[in-house]
Amino acid sequence: MTSRLEGRTALVTGSTGGIGVAIARVLAAEGAHVLVSGRDTARGEKVAAGLAEAGGRATFLRADLTTGAAVRELAGAAEHAADGALDILVNNAALLSAPKPTGELSDEEIDALLAVNIKAPMLLTGLLAPGMAARGSGAIVNLGSINGLDGMAGSALYSTTKAAVHSLTKSWAAEYGPAGVRVNTIAPGPTLTERFADSAPIRELVATVPSRRASAPEEIAGAVLFLVSDDALNIHGTTLSVDGGYSAVRSVRTA
């Protein structure tokens, strides 16, 4: 355990698995009180218990981010758990859509991804960032994606939501930066979460990146830690790609 985030409280949405739980572990290991959030109570309580067993401090807040009412309830619960002084918000929760032509997307798929991937972080940031601004400090990290940077066939819906996240980061940096709140984005490339540990599309994509490997979730989490720590005090509105070099060479593929 180290203490770069000692005394700070961090809400990490979608932190009951995948990249989110890795972020929760890294922030807790640095001394933050981590508010673990997700839909599955059993998984969330297990993650929070694991953080506590490792010497950290964690509280589970159940949240289904598909409705505005639930998002507002989460914001209130987070402020209560943080004694009214939330320091860090990581907008990580997101839904994926199966690759398919745009014309085959259903209304239900479109509505669900827009609600969780765009509306939820907009509401959470709008509810929680003003408190940070009033105190003159805070850090928000949004999880974008290389899909939001590059055109990919069959990914119109998901890519649109992530491109929106990248744009929101810039707008929020302009809105909240003057009051001391730093807002930035991480854009992960192929990442070996449990869901994609044996994915043929991931293997194909990895073959095109300079590093020739996928990221571990902990590497994404390390980038989040950097952006929320005092090491990044004058970084505002940036998108940091953690993708093995994919975004640097995407216009010229290597063999």
Name the CA radius of gyration of the chain, rounded: 17
Kindly state the average pLDDT of the residues 84-108.
95
pLDDT at 199: 67
pLDDT at 245: 87
Q: Name the pTM for this structure.
A: 0.93
CB neighbour list of residue 130: distance below 8 Å, 6 or more residues apart: none
* Mean of pLDDT over the chain: 92
Which is catalytic among the residues 115, 128, 148, 158?
158
The yes-or-no verdict on residue 215 having pLDDT over 50 is yes
* Segment 139-159, tens digit of pLDDT: 999 999 988 888 778 899 999
Q: Which fold has domain 9-243?
A: Rossmann fold (3.40.50)
Measured between alpha carbons, how far is 174 from 236 in angstroms, rounded to an integer? 9
Question: Could you tell me if 217 and 18 are in contact, meaning their C-beta atoms sit under 8 angstroms apart?
Answer: yes
* Segment 22-81, tens digit of pLDDT: 999 999 999 999 999 999 999 999 999 999 999 999 999 999 999 999 999 999 999 999
158 as an active site residue: the answer is yes
